[in-house]
Amino acid sequence: MSKKKNPNTALWDKVFPTDPAYTKFVKVGRGFTTIDAYYQVKTATEVFGPVGLGWGWDTDETYTDGVVIVKMHLWYKHPDTGEVSQPVVHFGCKALTNKSGRVNEDAVKSATTDALTKALSYIGFNGDVFLGLFDDNKYVEMQQQKFEEKAEAPSDDQATLMGELSMEISTAFDVPGLQALRPRLSEAKEKLTKGMVRELSTLFINRMESLPKLGFQKEEAG
């Protein structure tokens, strides 16, 4: 019996997984994983709609003791109900100068990005990173595979072409007939996903290895 899904975490569950391709491990102290800020904006836009229409934020800046503190008020329209949320509040902080004493011109931008990342995490975005799941290499590898497969979801045309080529390979009667398919297979590489190309390559090799045996059996039968 499948576990009943909690409607309160429907949005959380949707935005919880993170594509490892948009993360970076920073070797400072014990080390930690950072998330590409623009990837987060893209993901939020996919869920809520364009910034300013489906979601957005307001900020207040405070300067004190050589740092800038950005207070963010994040809002969004729920993708299912259209209801506008109450502000999700979080803070970002950045030093106004670097270690050499030079002015950090990106201080406000960096603090705003930090606040945005943290505010989105309260909704569930990239929850696996914040829960420490990216410390597990097996989990990261599993996520890489899932996102690669998702990115390679075949179109109807690709599925049709894949079916045709698979059938032609499987029904090739002899080695010359199979070899004659090479130009078409080579051309198809530009049209199919990497996974499809790998599958066709395996099918081609297996068929090639089986043909001499099939031919021998046929001669024996004759």
Residues 127-177: tens digit of each pLDDT: 999 999 999 999 999 999 888 877 777 788 888 999 999 999 999 888 888
CATH class of residue range 7-151: alpha beta
pLDDT-derived band at 213 (thresholds 50, 70, 90) equals low
Instruction: Give CA–CA dist 174/208, Å, rounded.
Output: 9
pLDDT-derived band at 2 (thresholds 50, 70, 90) equals low
In Å, what is the CA distance from 215 to each residue of 100, 177, 187, 202? 77, 13, 28, 20
Give the mean pLDDT of 35-52.
96
Q: What pLDDT shows up at residue 17?
A: 96
Mean per-residue pLDDT over the chain, rounded: 90
Helix spans in 171-193 (H): 175-179, 182-188
List phi, psi (to 5°) of 100. Answer: -85, 0
Which letter does DSSP use for residue 102 in this model?
A: -
Instruction: Give CA–CA dist 173/214, Å, rounded.
Output: 9
Residues 102-123: tens digit of each pLDDT: 999 999 999 999 999 999 999 9
Residues 59-100: tens digit of each pLDDT: 999 999 999 999 999 999 999 999 999 999 999 999 999 888
Give the mean pLDDT of 28-44.
92
Say whether pLDDT at 3 is over 80: no
Amino acid at 8: N
Instruction: Give CA–CA dist 188/165, Å, rounded.
Output: 9
In Å, what is the CA distance from 58 to each residue of 36, 91, 201, 208, 221? 21, 12, 53, 63, 81
Token pair 């670097």 is at which residue? 98
